Amino acid sequence: MKLRWHRHGRSAEEIAGLPVVTATEMRAAEQALFARGTPSFDVMSTAGRAVVVAIQQRWPTPFKRALVLAGPGNNGGDGFIVARELANLGCDVHVAAAQSRDLYSGDAARAVALWGGHIARLEPGALAKLDEGDCVVVDAIFGIGLARPVEGQVKAVIHALHGSPCPIVAVDVPSGIDADTGEVLGAAPRAALTVTFGWPKRGHLLLPGKEWARDLVVADIGCHDADLPGLGAIPRVNGTALWRNDLPLPSAADHKYTRGHALVAGGATMPGATRLASRAARRIGAGMLTVAAPREAHPFYLIDQPGLIVREAAGAAGLKTLLEDRRFTATLVGSGLPADSDTRAMVEAAAASGRALVIDGGGLTAFADAGDVLAGFGRADIILTPHEGEFARLFPSLKGDKLVRTREAARIAGCTVVVKGADTVIAGPDGRTAINADAPAWLATAGSGDVLAGLILGLLGQGMPAFEAAAAGVSLHGMAGAAFGPGLIAEDLPELIPEVLRLLSEVDPE
């Protein structure tokens, strides 16, 4: 039985490249599976057994007791399969269900029929069993069939579960989490582990669902990617599978002029951002890096990077003149710059130069009241890297979850858009999207975004295609953060890139 593990906050490589599906897409794929002749009850049995195997892998010492909370549908049906399998392994299993046996239908009714034990009512009193400890709770109330906020007894049970010392294992989706958006509908239990089937759902990777699902196991139940309608437009889990073939690695024939010449527009008031970005761009392999800045700022940039080239450039006109030199291959404007008309003019000059361009920080918020101007850029090799707040100011009218909004912004702007966060979403103007799942919380530190912008700049400058450069920059940023762990500050990140690249070179692609 193939189980792919994604431990919360750690490497997502086991699920990297997988489609991230909606409930509708999942149901379509299941129907294709059934149409190929696999009985739907066999799929439910496989799903239930996958939950048990995942529990055994996560907690090798068997639990004495289990409390299975079963909903009225097939998620509940899975729960009854789990109950029987655990009982067959000698576990003292108790089941509390949302309805009586006779009300179940279809596959769930078959699963209930196989459960010979008592079935209590699904209400807070059923949780008394947990007081005895050494117990696992199996949340099989709602899965992808959740259709409205939970309420009544279910909500009361979920609230009663909060703070329980017994780990909760969610079947398919933590009950109350919207599988398509990650929203909490009414209430949801905090799972220690979520076992889903076929592919990750968007609600497992988008906030807040990602925090409720915690460790995620994706169990193979026999579905094929080809069963998914519109596979090309379905988001993917970000990771090396999406970009490693495009990662620029030097060859013996390379020299500094062949590995790209990146340019960062530096300011005089907040040079730290430019210093972090330029260091990151060089660490990821940019052959040469020029900081274009007012003369009075030059000493800031040469302090600790003698390998930098620093050129005089006063405002947009100065940048425009510099960029007439065709040796520059990519530009970053906005890191450490004020969100004002001068910065906006610099962004427009850089965009007009035709170079690949990363727009970050003040370069983004300079367009806060003029998202339509950004929309005019219309080039995939222009990459916007807003955090959620900047994104909301740039595209205030967009509605829906983060994936929907990011994809729509990329379509409107005709650019590649990276909306940063614990659930960073990357979208290309062609509709391609990726959700990043492995950003450690340590990355939430000042300057971290400047390093990311620099990583993407450095990859662009070496000729990496924009979507892959954005996806790789986000992955490498997360890998560097994870390599350092607690106490991370932004200055550490560029210095961890060599180790991350070495580890990547040691891991042969499948």
Ligand X SMILES: NC(=O)C1=CN([C@@H]2O[C@H](COP(=O)(O)OP(=O)(O)OC[C@H]3O[C@@H](n4cnc5c(N)ncnc54)[C@H](O)[C@@H]3O)[C@@H](O)[C@H]2O)[C@H](O)CC1
- Per CB under 6 A, residues contacting ligand X are 30, 40, 43-44, 47, 71-76, 78, 107, 142-150, 171-172, 197, 221
421 known ligand binder? yes
Tokens of 92: 């003292």
Minimum CB separation of residue 108 from ligand X in Å reads 7
Binding-site partner at residue 197 among ligand X, K ion, none, CB < 5 to 8 Å by type: ligand X
Q: Which residues is 216 bridged to in the sheet?
A: 6, 194
Please, what is the minimum distance in Å from the beta carbon of residue 169 to ligand X? 12
Question: Is 420 annotated as belonging to a binding site?
Answer: yes
The interface partner of residue 72, options being ligand X, K ion, none and the CB cut-off 5 to 8 Å by kind, is ligand X
- Per-position DSSP letters for 226-279, written without gaps between them: GGSTTGGGS-EE-SHHHHGGG-----TT--GGGS-EEEEE--SS-HHHHHHHHH
Q: How far apart are CA 300 and CA 336, in angstroms?
A: 13
88/115 Cα distance (integer angstroms) = 11
CB nearer to K ion: give 195 or 437.
Answer: 195
- Strands of the sheet with 356-359, listed across from one edge: 236-237, 433-435, 425-427, 416-419, 382-384, 356-359, 330-333, 261-265, 288-293, 309-312
450 marked among binding-site residues = yes
175 binds, among K ion, ligand X, none (CB under 5 to 8 A by kind): K ion
Whether omega before 429 lies within 30 degrees of 0, making that bond cis, reads: no
Query: CB 77 → ligand X: shortest distance, Å?
Result: 6
Helix H segments across 36-97?
40-58, 74-88
Nearer to ligand X, 52 or 472 (CB): 52
- Using CA atoms, how far apart are residues 323 and 351, in angstroms rounded to an integer? 10
Q: Which of 145/208 has CB closer to ligand X?
A: 145
Please identify, using beta-carbon distances, which residue of 70 and 374 lies nearer to ligand X: 70
d(CA 426, CA 435): 6
105, 41 contact by CB (below 8 A): no
Question: For residues 121 and 295, which CB has a smaller minimum distance to ligand X in the complex?
Answer: 121
Gap between the Cα atoms of 241 and 134, Å rounded = 39
CB 18 within 8 A of CB 217: no
Name which of 176 and 239 has its Cβ closer to K ion. Answer: 176
Residue 78 interface partner, choices K ion, ligand X, none, CB cut-off 5-8 Å depending on type: ligand X
- From the list K ion, ligand X, none, pick the one residue 139 interacts with, judged by a Cβ distance below 5 to 8 Å according to partner type: K ion
Binding site for K ion (CB under 5 A): 139, 143, 170-171, 175
Distance CA 463, CA 416 (A): 15
Cα 151 from Cα 131, distance rounded (Å): 24
The nearest distance, CB 345 to ligand X, in angstroms, is: 52
Shortest distance (Å) from residue 126 CB to ligand X: 17
Q: How far is the CB of 145 from ligand X (least distance, A)?
A: 2
- Would the annotation count 113 as a binding residue? no
The item of ligand X, K ion, none sharing an interface with residue 71, based on CB under 5 to 8 Å by kind, is ligand X
- 43 vs 466, which CB is nearer to ligand X? 43
Closest to ligand X by CB, 117 vs 149, is 149
Phi, psi of 65 (to 5 degrees): -125, 160
30: partner contacted, choices ligand X, K ion, none (Cβ within 5-8 A by kind)? ligand X
What's the closest the beta carbon of residue 219 comes to ligand X, in angstroms? 9
Tell me whether residue 396 is annotated as binding. no
CA distance 131 to 119: 19
Whether 75 has a binding-site annotation, put simply, is yes
Q: Which residue is it, tokens 């196991």? A: 217
CA pair distance 59, 378, nearest whole angstrom: 51
First to last CA, the chain: 19
| Structure token digits, residue 297 | 């700022």
Could you tell me if 76 and 104 are in contact, meaning their C-beta atoms sit under 8 angstroms apart? yes
Which of the choices K ion, ligand X, none does residue 284 contact, using the CB cut-off of 5 to 8 A by kind?
none
Nearest-approach distance from CB 23 to ligand X, in angstroms: 8
Q: 143 or 429, CB closer to K ion?
A: 143
91 binds, among K ion, ligand X, none (CB under 5 to 8 A by kind): none
Judge whether 235 is annotated as a binding position: no
215 is in an annotated binding site: no
Least spacing, CB of residue 31 vs ligand X, in Å: 8
Nearest-approach distance from CB 44 to ligand X, in angstroms: 5
Q: Is 144 annotated as a binding residue?
A: yes
Instruction: Check the annotation: does 74 bind a ligand.
Output: yes
CA dihedral 96, 97, 102, 104 (to 10 degrees): -140
Report whether 352 contacts 393 (CB < 8 A). Answer: no
Q: Is 436 annotated as a binding residue?
A: no
Of 450, 453, 382, 455, the closest CA to residue 412 belongs to: 382
Question: According to the annotation, is 90 in a ligand binding site?
Answer: no
- Give the nearer residue to ligand X in terms of CB position, either 85 or 390: 85
273 is an annotated ligand-binding site residue: yes
Q: Pick what 194 binds: K ion, ligand X, none; C-beta below 5 to 8 Å, kind-dependent.
A: none
Q: Which residues are annotated as a binding site?
A: 74-78, 139, 143-149, 172, 175, 273, 336, 387, 420-424, 449-450
Q: Which residues are annotated as a binding site for AMP?
A: 420-424, 449
Q: Which residues are annotated as a binding site for K(+)?
A: 75, 139, 175
Q: Which residues are annotated as a binding site for (6S)-NADPHX?
A: 74-78, 143-149, 172, 273, 336, 387, 450
